[in-house]
Amino acid sequence: MSRVVNLSLLGVLLVGMLLTACGTTQTQRAGDTGVKLDPKLDVFIAVPKDPDDPDYAGAGKFLAYSLAEDLSKRGIGVGIGKEQASRDEDLAAARKQGDGYLMVPNITDWQHHYTDIGPVGRPNSAGFTMSVIKVADGSTVRSDDLEKIGTRMSFGGGGDPKDQLKSAMEDYVDEVYPDKP
């Protein structure tokens, strides 16, 4: 009898571990991650172009405002650019406001599989590149490539690329400003 109970318990634990493994997210980073930003300098954020999928109109603004929210939580002054502004226009606006950095994001990945149990090997994901430019001289301080890979199987939701992007923004801010106020 105890052997049956032990096997049942082992089975329950194994299923629990598998569900947990299927429900995790992963952040991948590449680029110059050694440079930390000065929290005393204000930031101007360029609004990236939306993904091509018309279901995600406004994703560029969502990224910019999510980043601004995370930076503001650290007491960093933030300005946000206009949609479809050129890099030169954003840099000029950042200079006019007296900002120290211009953050230029670009959405590189946007995949949403519209079922809770997505196709095997195709999890929901969002990715972006981020260039941080020193406003004073226009030089690139750091350049990052981040991707947030969601669940292959999700029973609790949260796999929308906007959720993945929001999570990636939080991770990114923690990376560039490691010391919390």
Q: Is residue 93 part of a domain?
A: yes
The answer to whether the beta carbons of residues 33 and 144 sit under 8 Å apart is yes
Cα-to-chain-centroid distance, residue 22:
20
pLDDT of residue 118: 47
pLDDT of residue 150: 61
| Helix or strand (DSSP H, E) at 106 | strand 101-111
CA distances to 14, 155, 157 from 17, rounded to whole Å, are 5, 14, 18
Q: Is residue 135 part of a domain?
A: yes
Higher per-residue pLDDT: 81 or 117:
81
Q: Is residue 114 part of a domain?
A: yes
Q: Is residue 7 part of a domain?
A: no
Residue 55 is part of a domain; what is its CATH number?
3.40.50.800
| Winning range, highest mean pLDDT, from 9-13, 34-38, 148-152 | 34-38
Overall domain count for the chain: 1
Cα-to-chain-centroid distance, residue 124:
13
pLDDT, averaged across the chain = 76
pLDDT digits (tens, 9 = 90+) for 46-80: 999 988 878 778 889 999 999 999 999 999 999 99
- Determine the structural domain holding residue 161 and report its residue range: 26-176
pLDDT of residue 151: 52
Q: In angstroms, rounded to a whole number, what is the distance separating the alpha carbons of residues 80 and 90?
A: 9
Q: Is residue 12 part of a domain?
A: no
> What is the spatial order of strands in the sheet that 140-149 belongs to?
26-31, 140-149, 125-134, 101-111, 43-45, 78-80
Task: Report whether pLDDT(10) > 50.
Answer: no
pLDDT digits (tens, 9 = 90+) for 99-123: 999 999 998 877 765 555 544 556 6
pLDDT of residue 157: 45
> What pTM did the predictor assign?
0.74
Could you list the beta-strand ranges (E) of the chain.
Answer: 26-31, 43-45, 78-80, 101-111, 125-134, 140-149
Please state at what angle helix 161-176 crosses helix 59-72, rounded to 10 degrees: 40
Q: Which of 180, 143, 163, 181 is nearest to 66 (CA)?
A: 163
Cα-to-chain-centroid distance, residue 142:
16
Q: Is residue 43 part of a domain?
A: yes
Q: Is residue 122 part of a domain?
A: yes
For residue 170, name the pLDDT band (cuts at 50, 70, 90). confident
Q: Is residue 44 part of a domain?
A: yes
Secondary structure letter of residue 30 according to DSSP: E
